Amino acid sequence: MMSNMNMKSEGTINKKARSMGSIQWLFQAATGAFIIFFLGVHLYVAHINGGSPVELFDTVVGNLSNPWWLAFFLVFLWIVTYHGLNGLKGIIYETGISTRGRKGVSWAIMGVYIVSIIYGTVLSLVVAQMTIP
Amino acid sequence: MPSENYVFDIERNDGKGSIRHDRFQVPKKKISTVLEGLTYISENLDGTLAFRHSCRMEICGSCSMSINGKPRMACSTIADSLNSEVIRVSPLPHYEVIKDLVVDIDPFFEKYKSVKPYIIRKDEEEHNKELLQTPEQFKLYEQYSMCIKCGLCLAACPISGSDENYIGPAALAAALRYNLDSRDQGSNVRLDITGGENGTALCHYAGECSEVCPKDVDPSKAIQILRRSGIAHELKQFFRREKDARR
Amino acid sequence: MPGGNTGIIGWFNFLHKGIGFFAYAMHRISGIVIVLYLYLHFFVLSNLLRGGVTFNSLITSFTYGPYDIFIVMDILLSLVIFYHGANGIRLMLNEAGLGLKHHKLLFFVFESVAMILMLLFLYYAWQVLLSGAGV
């Protein structure tokens, strides 16, 4: 039993040695830095300089109909979803799941990411076309 | 009025899953350290108590255990400094228990070995004289060479507690120790391992390894430094500015 | 399982731990909370498709009643977000090997600055809410 365990730990350590662990970290840090900036602008626009909450619809549609703001929010959406889901993936990985489990989680998270950003992008584009009543 | 005895509350484990707690009265004036308390128990109260120890002076790294909820060396933990009449002793967390306070430390050494903690030379066969090093070059890695392989850091690390594949603080600090050594030429080989999925990427700088380290090696600091060189190494490889150093 | 792996529970056991561990565990918890909120946010924004009248009355109900309990949730959320952001910047620096000598001090400095910014943000956002109440 003891030798089994040793083989297992040795095997997993050596086999998966190369898998871009550091680059993953770099991406998470870089997206985090972007989010500090994006979220700062977002909070300012939505809560301080966004007019009355009673007429929030007008503000949102007004903002999104400007292509620059639309681009801003789309990039924000892609980055913030990446950062959040990638962080979640790391947390799930570290619960000690198997290599096969990691692969499954990785694909699942990627699927959720793609669905999320497609939905968010379509939603933003549709809202941008809406008219203020 | 303070009592004349410490109460040692020891978690006993027969290694087959049955756990019980035994309480022993140990006279305060007979002991100074927790290890002395355990020795007193085994000599006078219960000879079946299993625990590992050797040097009694924080050099050998054998008597690691959980004392009052924190991983510590029994030999260097003064009972009086715990400010408690009851001293709770249990086996080191994150390791399989063999019996009572004796844990299987093999996985720790497997991880340690995996980072190749020895000097790697490209001129392995040719060199036949001593490799010289100045005191300044020694100072660079001196701190990380103080590790006594007691395994406390692995017991304190929250990630090691959930993911057994994580190489862990001691091994990563050892990797940095050899990477900083002027006589070594194997940095790239080690960075391939420590920069991988089970290396520095799993550290989130909770810093508990450094909190419990009896020799002030500061493994968490070592891991962050190693992470930076790992990123540089991986980026260089990515842009093919560096020959593949694997094998 | 005493002696063996403490698993996920060990991530949140604050007993006998240092400030770095607290920062780490809270970063993890706040991160999960923010991801959950992100999807709640997507859900709420989906109501934009239902038109201006419906969306505005929805937002008004969250802000001025009858569901204004969400204001409290929003304040808690801003606490979580500002905490995560400040600690995130510290981790970014520390994990890149910068400021390792003073990582504990950096934690307090970054968190203090973030909390001041948060109070400023909440103050101005609150003014906007008050000014909108009469509309």
Domain with C13 in it: what CATH number? 1.20.1300
Q: Which residues of C touch B164 (CB under 8 A)?
A: 5
Q: Which residues of A make CB contacts under 8 Å with B?
A: 2, 5-6, 9-10, 12-14, 16-26, 93-96
Q: What pLDDT shows up at residue B241?
A: 57
Helix (H, G, I), strand (E, B) or coil at B8: strand
Q: How far is B190 from chain A (nearest CA, A)?
A: 10
* Phi/psi of residue B88, nearest 5 degrees: -90, 120
Q: Please state the rounded mean pLDDT for residues B184-194.
A: 92
The letter for the amino acid at B116 is K
CB B28 within 8 A of CB B36: no
Counted domains in chain A = 1
How big is the A-B interface in CB pairs under 8 Å? 81
Work out whether strand B64-67 and strand B5-13 pair parallel, antiparallel, or are unpaired.
Answer: unpaired
Q: What is the extent of the structural domain holding C119?
A: 7-133
In chain C, what residues touch A61 (CB-CB under 8 Å)?
48, 52
Partner-chain contact B202 A16, CB within 8 Å: no
Can you tell me the distance from the alpha carbon of C16 to that of B27, in angstroms, rounded to the nearest whole number? 26
Domain annotation covers residue A60: yes
Quote the minimal CA–CA distance from C12 to chain B in Å.
Answer: 9
Q: Is the pLDDT higher at C133 or at A78?
A: A78
The answer to whether position C69 is within a domain reads: yes
Q: Is residue C1 part of a domain?
A: no
The predicted structure's pLDDT at residue C97: 87
- Residues in B touching A87 (Cβ below 8 Å): none
What's the fold here for domain B106-238? Fumarate Reductase Iron-sulfur Protein; Chain B, domain 2 (1.10.1060)
Q: Which residues of B fall within a CB distance of 8 Å from C100? A: 221, 224-225
Where are the CATH 3.10.20.30 domain residues in chain B? Answer: 5-103
Report the distance separating Cα C52 and Cα B122, nearest Å: 71
pLDDT digit string, tens, across residues B195-214: 888 899 999 999 999 999 99
CATH number among 3.40.50.2020, 3.10.20.30, 3.30.420.40, 3.20.20.140, domain B5-103: 3.10.20.30
Q: Locate tokens 């871009």: which residue?
A: A20
Contact check, Cβ <8 Å, A52/C48: no
Measure C107 CA to nearest chain B CA, in Å. Answer: 12
> What mean pLDDT value characterizes chain B?
92
Q: Could you give phi then psi for residue B83, rounded to 5 degrees?
A: 55, 40
Can you tell me the mean pLDDT for B102-121?
95
The pLDDT, as a whole number, for residue B172 is 97
C2, part of any domain:
no
pLDDT band at C5 (very low <50, low <70, confident <90, very high): low
With CB atoms and an 8 Å threshold, state whether C4 touches B19: no
Best mutation target among B10, B96, B164, B205 (most C Cβ atoms within 10 Å) is B205
CB-based contact B103:B92 (threshold 8 Å): yes
SS3 at position C54: helix
Residue B61 identity: G
Decide if B203 contacts B223 (C-beta within 8 A).
Answer: yes
Query: Does residue A120 belong to the interface with chain C, where contact is any CB pair within 8 Å?
Result: yes
- Which of A28, A43, A80, A119 is most worth mutating to test chain C (most C CB atoms within 10 A of its CB)? A43
Q: Which of C82, C38, A11, C80 is nearest to B165 (CA)?
A: A11
- For residue C121, the distance in angstroms to the closest alpha carbon of chain B comes to 29
Interface contact B207-C103, CB threshold 8 A: yes
**Angle formed by the axes of helices B219-238 and B169-179, nearest 10°:** 60
Helices assigned H by DSSP within chain B:
34-40, 106-114, 135-142, 152-156, 158-162, 169-179, 187-194, 208-212, 219-238
Statement: residue C132 has pLDDT above 90: no
Mean pLDDT of all residues belonging to chain C = 88
- pLDDT for A133 equals 63
Residue B247 pLDDT class (50, 70, 90 cuts): very low
Each residue of B63-79: pLDDT tens digit? Answer: 999 999 999 999 999 99
CB atoms within 10 A of CB C94: 23
Contacts for A94 with CB less than 8 Å, ≥ 6 apart: B159, B162, B163, B166, B202
Q: Of B163, B238, B159, B171, which is closest to residue B203 (Cα–Cα)? A: B159
Residue C133 has pLDDT above 80, yes or no: no
Q: In the structure, what pLDDT confidence band is assigned to residue C2 with cuts at 50, 70 and 90? A: very low
The predicted pLDDT at position B234 comes to 86
For residue C119, the model assigns a pLDDT of 96
C10 CA: distance to closest CA in chain B (Å): 6
B to C CB pairs, distance under 8 Å: 94
In the predicted structure, residue C6 carries a pLDDT above the cut 90: no
Q: What pLDDT score was predicted for residue B246?
A: 47
Mean pLDDT value across residues B165-189: 95
pLDDT at B182: 95
Contact yes or no for A21 and B201 at CB 8 A = yes
Say how far apart CA C69 and CA C66 lie, in whole Å.
8
Q: Structural domain of residue A78, as residue ranges? A: 56-133
Q: Which residues of A touch B166 (CB under 8 A)?
A: 94
Q: How many domains does chain C have?
A: 1
pLDDT band at C22 (very low <50, low <70, confident <90, very high): very high
pLDDT at position B22: 96
Element (H, E) at A108: helix A99-129
The pLDDT tens digits along chain A (133 residues) read 333 333 333 334 444 444 567 788 889 999 999 999 999 999 998 888 877 777 888 888 988 999 999 999 999 999 999 999 999 999 998 888 888 888 999 999 999 999 999 999 999 999 998 877 6
